[in-house]
Structure 1
């Protein structure tokens, strides 16, 4: 049997791409070594259509948000289980200057549906510290990432479409017909390895910056759980008085070990949002694949047309991956093209420099 695609990696990006290809009738085999501390399993799965401190709409939010909604709705119907929780996001102003920055940007129709309310003073929730007010953002929420990945993993295992093992690069052979891996043949192989792509001999030239992120789970009482909170960190309610707090950004020490410094930073920032006491019940760390220009990386290798990559979502994978996976699946099956902004062709000069230095 010859597979249409082998997908290496079953984190958020790989799982969404593999499911998308299968939904288009492609015969897909996934190879993935289970890693509980992977960035996808650690993440709180936040979907926020507003970008950071700049008070700008996330890049292509008008395309990404509906595609994400449709994809997660389809998965929920498929598995008959809730996996995406729609919740507004209360972005708390940290100063009068930040409030003024937002007020200067808020005019115009581009915010329609995204901004539910603007508060220029506290919303007067007794446990919330927001003296300068904030904005209530619509069309947000969070994906239960580890639950989604487990559902998709179980389905692939039941159908015999998942090899739960480390991918051994030395077992890969490129052929005129595609690739062979051990005794398996496929027309095409897609690497969805997250930050591990820095070790991939075919794609290590891509400008991936491994970035460590730490996340806390805390238990607290009498804290308003009707929305997600955002002020330097996100605070995501996950049920039974528990909240995920994150995330740190550390590109100097990209390992998967939680640190006392990370816990202290997150705890202090949470204390700036609520006056309630809390107990840390869990602490995780994972490594995200960040990209120099903050755009994902997708496309076919410049020389080896049997190989491609789908990577570099950083902290925006829940928002971006469904739309980009659909677009990439269409491109891989000859039914569409990729956005130039995400195509790896923008970095082909790095590949040729890499090859020239190698020779």
Structure 2
């Protein structure tokens, strides 16, 4: 059987890239070992156009958000099911200093509809602890990532375009015309393995830092408003019927997929800084994100083996970035444009050369 592309990995990045390639008419086979606690499946699916404590518009937000909206809306229309939920994000100031930082920042920038309102005092919403006010961020929301992945996987299975198995690197052969995997041939193989790329002999030189993240599901008391997403050290994402997803922790030292009592306590304590409402923990998960040194994704073709490419490193921003970057990378794979320099793996060529030198020196 011959394909245009084999995509290894069907987390959010791999799923969106595979769907994008298929929408362009390519024949795509996906190989993935299903895991309930993959980083994509346990993620809150947040899309936030304003970055962290720096109060900066997220990188390329003006391009990312329209592409993300169009991509998710198209899937919603296909499946007749809501997948993306548009919600404002109430970023609560933690101190008067943080409020002052924002006031100075906002004076010099044209934020347009990214900032719906600035509150210098509490919004007086029952149960919300915001004595210094906060900003209401527009054009945000969250994606039901697990639902999207389930729908796309089911489609691929029906069309016999999905192999639910662990990719066996020993079965991969590089040929003059592409690749061969067992009895399957393809022009190009694209690794979308998330943090597992650190074990990939072709791309392990890339500076991926596996980063553990834990999330909680809680049931809150009545009258805790689900009309927005809350942010103060953690994100609180409304799932309906009093259910909220709280996340996430960042742990670089213990990159395993086991929830911990320490993670639960950290998230619970941060949630208590947002609300005086009582709550009960009803779920607790952990996953490992593929973080990159310079906080930019990784895409491109291997420096030596042109049959192999990688699309990875979205970290916690895959919902925002993946649809647009998948479009651009698919166009680059078709020879229609160059890979975006900001995400091109060639920015780390020095690491590749150091890695190959080290391999050549081994006895």
TM-based fold match above 0.5? yes
Alignment partner, residue 306 of structure 2: 305
1:351 alignment counterpart: 352
1:2 deviation in Å? Answer: 1.4
Partner of 2:100: helix, strand, or coil? helix
> Is residue 62 of structure 1 aligned with residue 23 of structure 2?
no
Q: In 2, distance between residues paired with 1:46 and 1:39? A: 13
Question: 1:151 & 1:227 partners in 2: Cα distance?
Answer: 26
1:180 CA displacement: 0.2
CA displacement, residues 151-181 of structure 1 (integer Å, 9 cap, x when unaligned): 0000000000000000000000000000000
1:20-70 CA deviation, whole Å, 9 max, x = no partner? 000000000000000000000000100000001110011111111111111
Are 2:45 and 1:40 aligned? no
Q: Which residue of 2 aligns with 1:184?
A: 184
How far did 1:109 drift? 5.2
User: Cα deviation per residue 1:129-157 (whole Å; 9 max; x = unaligned)?
Assistant: 00000000000000000000000000000
Q: Which residue of 1 aligns with 2:324?
A: 323
Offset, 1:80: 1.4
Query: 1:12 corresponds to which residue?
Result: 12
Question: Equivalent residue for 2:147?
Answer: 147
Rounded Cα–Cα distance in structure 1 between residues aligned with 2:342 and 2:166 = 31
Q: TM-score, normalised by structure 1?
A: 0.99
Task: Report the CA distance between 1:108 and its aligned residue.
Answer: 4.3
Q: Name the TM-score, length of structure 2 as normaliser.
A: 0.98
Unmatched runs of 5 consecutive residues or more in structure 1: none
Q: Corresponding residue for 1:239?
A: 240
Q: Aligned-residue CA RMSD in angstroms?
A: 0.7
In the other structure, the counterpart of 2:99 is: 99
1:210 alignment counterpart: 210
Deviation at 1:110, TM superposition (A): 2.9
2:53 aligned with 1:53? yes
Q: For the residues of structure 2 that align with 1:300 and 1:278, how far apart are their CA atoms?
A: 48
Matches within 5 A, 1:87-166: 87-108=87-108, 110-166=110-166
Instruction: Name 1:337's counterpart in structure 2.
Output: 338
Bigger Cα displacement from structure 2, 108-117 vs 125-134: 108-117
Matched position secondary structure for 2:285: strand
Per mean C-alpha deviation after superposition, the further-off stretch among 277-286 and 108-117 is: 108-117
For the residues of structure 2 that align with 1:54 and 1:261, how far apart are their CA atoms? 27
Tell me how far apart the structure 2 counterparts of residues 180 and 110 of structure 1 sit (CA, whole Å): 51
> CA separation in 2, counterparts of 1:104 and 1:114?
17
CA distance in 2, matches of 1:201, 1:170: 11
Consecutive unaligned residues in structure 2, runs of 5 or more: none
